[in-house]
Amino acid sequence: MLIRIGTAGFSYRDWEGSVYPRPRPPGFDPLAFLAALFPCVEMNVTFYRVPTARNVEAWVARAAAREDFRFTFKLYQGLTHGQEEETLAPFLAALEPCRGAGRLGAILLQFPWFFENGEAARRRLSRLARGLEGWPCAVELRHTSWLSEPSLDFLARLGLSLCDIDVCASDTSIPPGAWTTGPIGYVRLHGRNSSAWFDRNAPVDRKYDYLYSPEELEPWIGFVRSIEAKTGNTFVITNNHFGGKAVANAFQLARALTGSAPEPPPHLVERFPHLR
């Protein structure tokens, strides 16, 4: 049984002075600093561009001091949001140093909210699943049409683990829950800043500007335990990153779910006094 809790990304300017010390001491490495606090990180930069093997090898080296640390990688958006199918080969080749080092947790296939269950969508998922065979994969689907029993069975047959999500509620959004379709448990908490989430003109950072209360996290503690009981290998990723809120909530979840969270850095406690 294993639950790893971490954040989506680690390189944010607005983490200066809250998550990371300011000024930074000489030689400070934000990835190594975060790896000392949490056993995983979701690399979201790979959603925007395909990394090189050298990039990935360097990331692995920077977190090498922690043996239980694992990386998860968001699949390049051209493969999930693009109109034309692109080759998986460069992306998977880049991840080989991580897999070879035993540090790969999962590849996350994130699809947009309008990716509705249907023949074309199923064909796309099937093609990607064939190309990703042998790689641990989770899929984030945001449209409620994927929650029918036949749809969940379809994902299971493809070997794709459904990602359970917390997002701002809409008529078509997937609600919080503990659905599992594969060997990996994967949870992503995006925050509930509805006013910005549904505003096309809102800056991206503002969409993720949200701090979960203990009462809002409580149901997720139960969901994660249920997911872990089914999979034995679960990742919980906080994506409400603005201002370091993801880190604060990750500490709260780690205390509740693993009982082994380290002490948060003093500057983080100063920013979020409830962590005392």
Percent of the chain with pLDDT over 70: 99
User: What pLDDT is stored for residue 1 in this prediction?
Assistant: 60
Write out the H or E segment, with its range, that includes residue 139.
strand 137-140
User: Which residue from 108, 103, 229 is spatially nearest to 163, judged by alpha carbons?
Assistant: 108
Q: What tens digit of pLDDT does each residue of 17-35 get?
A: 999 999 999 999 999 999 9
Torsion, Cα 250 255 261 262, to 10 degrees, reads 100
Condensed to tens digits (0 to 9), the pLDDT of residues 40-84 reads 999 999 999 999 999 999 999 999 999 999 999 999 999 998 865
pTM of the entire predicted model: 0.96
pLDDT in tens, 209-222: 999 999 999 999 99
How many Cα atoms within 13 Å fall on the side-chain side of residue 101? 25
Q: How many structural domains are present in the chain?
A: 1
The pLDDT score that the predictor gives to residue 259 is 81
pLDDT at 85 over 70: no
Average pLDDT over residues 238-248: 97
> If we measure between CA atoms, which residue out of 139, 135, 148 comes closest to residue 96?
135
**Which tens digit of pLDDT belongs to each residue from 123-135?**
999 999 999 999 9
pLDDT band at 226 (very low <50, low <70, confident <90, very high): very high
- Residue 176, Cβ density class (10 Å: 0-12 exposed, 13-18 middle, ≥19 buried): middle
Give the mean pLDDT of the chain: 95
Confidence (pLDDT) at 204:
86
At residue 58, the pLDDT reads: 98
Mean pLDDT calculated for residue range 263-269:
91
Q: Is residue 274 very low, low, confident or very high in pLDDT (cuts 50, 70, 90)? A: very high
* Domain of residue 154, residue span: 3-275
CATH number at residue 148: 3.20.20.410
Q: Render pLDDT for 151-205 as a digit per residue (tens, 0 to 9).
A: 999 999 999 999 999 999 999 999 999 999 999 999 999 999 999 999 989 988 8
Alpha helix positions (H), the chain? 30-35, 45-48, 53-62, 77-80, 89-100, 119-131, 149-158, 194-197, 204-207, 214-231, 245-257, 266-271
